[in-house]
Amino acid sequence: MKDFENVNSVIERVLLTEEQIRDKVTEIGARISDEYKGREPLMLCILSGSFMFASDLMRAITIPVGISFIYASSYGDASVSSGEVDIRTGKGGLDVSGRDVIIVEDIVDTGRTLTAVKKYLEDKGAKSVEICTFLDKPERRVFPLDVKYMCFDIPNEFVVGYGLDYAYKYRQLPFVGVLKPEIYTK
Amino acid at 62: T
Catalytic residue among 23, 109, 146, 153: 109
Q: Does 107 bind ligand PRP (CB under 6 A)?
A: yes
Rounded least distance, CB 103 to ligand PRP, Å: 10
3-state secondary structure the chain: CCCCCCHHHHEEEEEECHHHHHHHHHHHHHHHHHHCCCCCCEEEEEECCCHHHHHHHHHHCCCCCEEEEEEEECCCCCCCCCCCCEEECCCCCCCCCCCEEEEEEEEECCCHHHHHHHHHHHHCCCCEEEEEEEEECHHHCCCCCCCCEEEEECCCCCEEECCECECCECCCCCCEEEECHHHHHC
Residue with smaller CB distance to ligand PRP, 84 or 123: 84
Residue with smaller CB distance to ligand PRP, 36 or 170: 170
Span 111-130, contacts to ligand PRP by CB under 6 A: 111-113
Distance of CA 38 to the CA centre of its chain: 25
Q: How many residues bind ligand PRP (CB under 6 A)?
A: 18
Which of residues 39, 124, 165, 169 is near ligand PRP by CB under 6 A?
165
Residue with smaller CB distance to ligand PRP, 28 or 135: 135
Tell me, yes or no, if 109 is annotated catalytic. yes
Residue with smaller CB distance to ligand PRP, 69 or 75: 75
Q: Does 176 bind ligand PRP (CB under 6 A)?
A: no
Q: Does 56 bind ligand PRP (CB under 6 A)?
A: no
Q: Which residues bind ligand PRP (CB under 6 A)?
A: 46, 48-49, 72-75, 81, 105-113, 165
Residues with a known catalytic role: 109
